Amino acid sequence: MVAFGALLLVGLPQLQAQDYRLPDMGSSADTLMTTGAEARLGQAFMRRVRESLPVLDDPLLTDYIESLGNTLVAADRDATGRFNFFVIDQSVINAFAGPGGNIGVYAGLILAAETESELAAVMAHEIAHVTQRHLLRALEDQSKMTVPTMALMVAAAILGAQVSGDAGAAAMVGVQAAALQRRINFTRENEHEADRLGITTLAKAGFDPYAMAGFFERLSKSSRVYENNAPEFLRTHPVNANRIAEALARADDFGARQRPDSLRFQLARAALRERSYKRPEQAVAHFRDTLREGRHRNAVAEHYGYALALTRAGRFDDARAALATAMQSHSSLPEFIVLDARLDLEQGQVERAVRNLEQAVDLSPGHWPLRVAYAEALMKANRPAPAIDELTAVARLRPGNPMLYDKLEQAAFRAGNQGATHRFRAEKLYAEGDREPAIRQLEIALRQRDLPYHEAARIQARLETWKEEEREAKRKDKRGEKP
């Protein structure tokens, strides 16, 4: 079982997210690992992230954080390759960077950021850790290990507990893991480098370059109240007066840039705030009070959060009224269209939901959250075949997304297509890093009766590719080759 693929930060109860840094050990990290090996390490990383942390698969929130992340990546001259931005549904105030360009942002950080520039500042910092290969530098002296062994050792170092059912394997790497943990702790050089490059990216992307220093200073002041429960960001990104001063000096090179927060930022915060309450009644009370007392930054977003809370509480008519207020001047926003359709579905107006979402997709065919919502409405209307078409189109644009393959599996099952059911289940398993069970699912799919020739050929080609990957991985593991 492959362990956490060099996990940098994990917000677990006792071993909270930690951002590990290591200075350059004197050789190029670029030669440590092939692109393919780093991708496999990234897959192992995401598999363990999903097993250990509540990754939020909400399409609208994911689309927002991806959009913000990609804006920053486009402004970073060193950024190459694939980046994957995702949200973790925990109140931890932190973010982390992992192998393969995987960058996680905790819901608590989004809620703690007072401006979109502050959120962008932390994300730009993490992007810099990726572009400067800080993780690979930390793993440089482990280059003779295979990917699974390296991943298991780093997992043991970070989690401090068993990460697989193989207790013996975990015990064997225990001593090495402890040594690695000491080596990959925070280093001032990497943190300052990530600050410096992150502020440059922030400014080039049009955000306020002073936001990073401002966020650091505000959290530092608040930590005096937190005492032993300081925000995780301060534990994993140690901040002192010199670091704040250096960040301010770097921002001075660009000057202040006032950038209004986007409405999508405010809507994302409202949605996460609503989710933060365990009981819908608590969420309803929160938004009712903030609206009545005027304690909010954006009235549109606050009404949206109120509508979400009322929907979860089953007060659909009240939710429609709150949503109508939010939609008065922004009726075409996907967040509002999706919630309006959700209310239709809750109140049995399935065809209306399908019709409105179909029109929205026609107007914005590239907006994948709308297409996912449309597919879900089609499923409610007992029309799984067109739902499969929609989800397949999205999956082509977003390959390797387990959530999409899970929905495709459900739609194929509803359609009575056993071959496709097993194929989509296989794709979901493969995307999660479970190659062997994914291979078995494809083999089952090929045994289904009445499997169309073109479908069988597609499955067979996929099966051969995965089997060759598995054989190659086992050969390297047996020879003890470096990644």
CA-based end-to-end distance of the chain: 17
Domain-embedded: residue 227: yes
Query: What per-residue confidence (pLDDT) applies to 236?
Result: 59
Mean per-residue pLDDT, 240-251: 91
- pLDDT, greater one: 147 or 459: 459
Listed residues 252, 267, 285: the one ending a domain: 252
Q: Say if 161 falls within a structural domain.
A: yes
- Residue 195: its pLDDT value, please? 92
- Predicted confidence band at 2 (pLDDT cuts at 50, 70, 90)? very low
The average pLDDT across 370-395 equals 97
Q: What are the C-alpha distances in Å from 33 to residues 15, 36, 276, 412, 471?
A: 28, 8, 40, 39, 19
Amino acid at 72: L
User: Is residue 147 included in any domain, yes or no?
Assistant: yes
* 192 annotated as ligand-binding: no
Length in residues, the chain: 483
Domain range for 457 is 399-483
Count of beta carbons in the 10 Å neighbourhood of residue 172:
15
Least confident range from 14-28, 141-155, 215-229, 280-294: namely 14-28
Residue 12 contacts residue 161 (beta carbons within 8 Å): no
Count Cβ neighbours within 10 Å for each residue of 412-448 and write b for 16 or more, e otherwise: bbbbebbbbbbbbbbbbbbbbbbbeebbebbebbeeb
Residue 17 forms part of a structural domain? no
In a domain, 474, yes or no: yes
**Within a domain: 365:** no
pLDDT of residue 190: 79
Structure tokens at 475: 């050969």
125 is in an annotated binding site: yes
| Structure-derived torsion over alpha carbons of residues 282, 283, 285, 288, reported in degrees to the nearest 10 | 180
Report, as residue numbers or ranges, the catalytic residues.
126, 195
Work out how many domains the chain is built from and give that number. Answer: 2
Residue percentage of the chain with pLDDT more than 70 = 77
Query: Which is more confidently placed, 56 or 170?
Result: 56
Q: Which of 233, 252, 271 is the last residue of a domain?
A: 252
Q: In this predicted model, which residue has the larger pLDDT, 60 or 233?
A: 60
Do residues 212 and 125 touch, judged by C-beta distance below 8 A?
yes
Dump pLDDT digits (tens) for 394-438.
999 998 899 999 999 999 999 999 999 999 999 999 988 789 999
Residue 219, in any domain of the structure: yes
Phi first, then psi: what are they for 229, rounded to 5°? -110, 40
- Coil vs helix vs strand at 56: strand
Show which of 225, 252, 279 is a domain's final residue: 252
Q: Is 194 among the domain residues?
A: yes
Higher-pLDDT residue of 92 and 448 is 448
User: Quick one: pLDDT band at residue 321, thresholds 50, 70, 90?
Assistant: very high
Please, is 465 exposed, middle or buried when counting C-beta atoms within 10 Å of its C-beta (0-12, 13-18, 19+)?
exposed
Which range has the worst mean pLDDT, 181-185, 322-326, 453-457?
181-185
Judge whether 191 is annotated as a binding position.
Answer: yes
Q: Per-residue pLDDT tens for 49-59?
A: 787 788 999 99
